[in-house]
């Protein structure tokens, strides 16, 4: 693994769920929030670079599309928004990111549109009769 790849791997943490970003494209949109280790920031001070370029390369190699990449001010978090198709092996991406050792903590959130949530609510209503809360 190259030094550049290792630094990128430290920029996000993955704990991925599955879903659908839209009915038309069958893609899932995720928001990754990760906290990089101090070693990552030290490496970036020595060799400053735009990490979104490397993030785009990694996402494309995984079969995903990078939508946007942000860095939080005063919270040390990286925010990466990307879409993946159903055929993407997200476990491989997760193992690669965690295995880099450059991430101290993080989360991933599947993002759903309001229209998708309405569809989800309809599906939940159909299931409602099959579930009982313990009394």
Q: How far, in Å, are 3, 21, 34, 83, 115 from residue 102 at the CA level?
A: 11, 29, 10, 23, 37
Domain total of the chain = 1
pLDDT of residue 25: 61
pLDDT of residue 117: 95
**Domain membership flag for residue 134:** no
Residues 6 or more apart whose CB falls under 8 angstroms from that of 32 comprise 12, 13, 14, 78, 79, 80, 81, 82, 106, 107, 108
**Domain membership flag for residue 44:** yes
pLDDT of residue 104: 81
**Domain membership flag for residue 120:** yes
Interatomic CA distance for residues 109 and 125, integer angstroms: 23
Question: In CATH, what number is assigned to the domain containing residue 92?
Answer: 3.30.70.1150
Is the distance from CB of 90 to CB of 42 less than 8 angstroms? no
User: Residue 15's domain spans which residues?
Assistant: 3-129
Q: How far, in Å, are 36, 99, 113, 121, 130 from residue 71 at the CA level?
A: 11, 22, 23, 33, 44
pLDDT mean by block of 10 residues, the chain; 135 residues: 41 35 69 89 94 93 95 89 88 80 82 95 92 85
**Domain membership flag for residue 99:** yes
pLDDT of residue 132: 85
**Domain membership flag for residue 135:** no
pLDDT of residue 74: 87
Backbone angles phi, psi at 63, to 5 degrees: 90, 20
pLDDT of residue 22: 45
Interatomic CA distance for residues 37 and 35, integer angstroms: 7
pLDDT of residue 20: 40
pLDDT of residue 44: 93
């Amino acid at each position: 693994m190259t030094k550049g790849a290792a630094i990128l791997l430290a920029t996000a943490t993955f704990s991925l769920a599955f879903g659908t970003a839209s009915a038309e494209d069958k893609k899932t949109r995720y928001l990754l929030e990760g906290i990089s280790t101090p070693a990552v920031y030290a490496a970036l001070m020595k060799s400053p670079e735009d990490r979104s370029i490397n993030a785009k390369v990694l996402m494309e190699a995984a079969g995903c599309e990078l939508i946007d990449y942000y860095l939080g001010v005063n919270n040390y978090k990286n925010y990466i928004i990307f879409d993946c198709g159903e055929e993407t092996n997200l476990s491989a991406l997760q193992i690669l990111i965690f295995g880099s050792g450059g991430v101290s903590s993080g989360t991933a959130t599947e993002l759903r549109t309001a229209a998708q949530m309405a569809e989800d609510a309809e599906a939940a209503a159909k299931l409602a009769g099959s579930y009982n809360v313990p009394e």
